[in-house]
Amino acid sequence: MTRKRESVFEAIEYQAVYSWLKNEYIGCLVEKNTELLLEYGVVDKHTGQVLGFQIKNQVINIDFIGSDLKGYIQMKPLYNFQGAELDEMTFILAARDKKEAILESQKVGQKKDDAPLPFGVNILIGFVNNSDNELEAELTIVSEFRGTQES
């Protein structure tokens, strides 16, 4: 039995999550349709850099980093959120270094205290380990936030 493609990815539901996430660090969202999956990406509004994509309960990192958002983006599995259900959404915020990742974690933590994350929404915050080859850069997760507020 095939699940309906739009189940958790309905635009209205996603827009609500985006409204929660929107701050100085996160910019616009990039939507990329494939035959099998509906994928969403988050872009740094200051640099145009694609920070991360999520597909169902698996977060994936961007292999090819560039500001040409219409171009082809290769992706690889990065992090499986333990215990995530198929209907959960996991977002990743990728900071430039550990210090910035910790600051972002504090911001999200404060925001979460004021307005709890919607149930089934997870946020991972990390920083990119500098590498000579940008395509091999890896993300180190420093914080995990999990939505507990029933809608």
Q: Which pTM was predicted?
A: 0.47
What pLDDT digit, counting tens, does each position of 46-74 carry?
A: 554 545 544 444 444 433 333 332 222 23
Give the three-class secondary structure for 5. coil
- In the chain, where are the structural domains located? 11-146
Q: Per residue in 75-113, pLDDT tens?
A: 333 333 344 443 455 666 666 678 877 887 887 788 777
Q: Is 115 exposed, middle or buried (0-12, 13-18, 19+ CB in 10 A)?
A: exposed
